[in-house]
Amino acid sequence: EPEVTQTPSHQVTQMGQEVILRCVPISNHLYFYWYRQILGQKVEFLVSFYNNEISEKSEIFDDQFSVERPDGSNFTLKIRSTKLEDSAMYFCASSYLAGSTFGSGTRLTVV
Amino acid sequence: AQSVTQLDSQVPVFEEAPVELRCNYSSSVSVYLFWYVQYPNQGLQLLLKYLSGSTLVKGINGFEAEFNKSQTSFHLRKPSVHISDTAEYFCAVSRGTNAGKSTFGDGTTLTVKP
């Protein structure tokens, strides 16, 4: 069964550093998403991406965040200057129609 | 805008007992509904989804859910649970179009005891 692949599975970074989280969505999917889950809390929507542009974003997705689909297969989330409160599990998801397939997540720890 | 309420934060049950995890939603438009399972330190796995048609939806691992439009509910059930069903379960809703963000509930921790 097709999978959404995320790398790395764990990332530790120092506060103020830039991080890039990488995702390879399912190849025929058209819609791409990033969500985050702070430890012990629910999954929160960050951003959706369609036709090479952001289609929707939440209030969490401020100027520190950006997304890109640089080569038609990868889908990245960049955090420009990480803060302690950015520590969370970040999930990539993709969909063709309704119902997203989620990746296994990247656990980001900001120290 | 949509919202999801999972009515129970924790559900402890004994092995081989039936279980129901409750989910209510609110939306001003038609919706799609989903249940995901998350095992410790792992990602989200889709259990089942309701898009249209039959209101009783069967998913993986013996789970099923029933969409009730009048009660705006989408409760998840399993007639006989196993120890391996111990996990966090999330109900989610998205607007009833081809694609869109999912809004998740707070989650229900299912603990199956021997």
A4-38 pLDDT, tens per residue? 999 999 999 999 999 999 999 999 898 999 999 99
CB contact under 8 A, A102 and B46: yes
Please state the rounded mean pLDDT for residues B79-90: 96
Computed over every residue of chain A, the mean pLDDT equals 93
Window B:48-107, CB contacts with A under 8 Å: 49, 51, 90, 92, 94, 96-107
State residue A2's pLDDT score: 80
Instruction: Check B90 against A48: CB less than 8 A apart.
Output: no
How would residue B48 be classed by pLDDT, with cut points 50, 70 and 90?
very high
Residue of A nearest to B36 (CA): A102
Interchain CB distance below 8 Å, A42 and B107:
yes
- Kindly determine whether residue A31 and residue B103, on different chains, have CB atoms separated by under 8 Å: no
Tell me what pLDDT residue A1 has.
Answer: 75
A33, A35, A104 member nearest B42 (Cβ): A104
Q: Does B5 touch chain A (CB under 8 A)?
A: no
Supply φ then ψ for residue A63, to 5 degrees. -65, -15
The stretch A37-56 carries a mean pLDDT of: 92
Q: What would the mean pLDDT of B47-73 be, rounded to a whole number? A: 93
Yes or no, beta carbons of A101 and B46 under 8 Å apart: yes
Q: Does B111 touch chain A (CB under 8 A)?
A: no
CA angle A51, A57, A61 (to 5 degrees): 125
pLDDT mean across residues, chain B:
92
State yes or no: pLDDT of B98 exceeds 70: no
Instruction: Tell me the CB-side half-sphere exposure of residue B95, using CA atoms within 13 A.
Output: 8
Kindly report the length of chain A. Answer: 111
The pLDDT of residue A63 is above 80: yes
Of B98, B104, B107, the CB nearest to A97: B98
Q: What is the pLDDT of residues A77-93, one digit of tens each?
A: 999 999 999 999 999 99
User: Nearest residue on chain B to A34, judged by CA atoms?
Assistant: B101
Question: Do the chains contact at A105 and B43, CB–CB below 8 Å?
Answer: yes
Q: Which of A33-37, A68-72, B31-35 has the highest mean predicted lDDT (pLDDT)?
A: A33-37
Q: Please give the share of chain B, as a percent, with pLDDT higher than 90.
A: 75
At position A62, the amino acid (one-letter code) is D
pLDDT of residue B99 exceeding 70, the answer is no
Q: Which residue has the tokens 């209510």?
A: B24
Residue A76 three-state SS: strand
Residue B27 burial by CB count (10 A; 0-12/13-18/19+): exposed, middle or buried?
A: middle
Sheet strands (E) in B39-72: 44-50, 56-58, 64-68
Please report the pLDDT score of residue B52 as a whole number.
Answer: 85
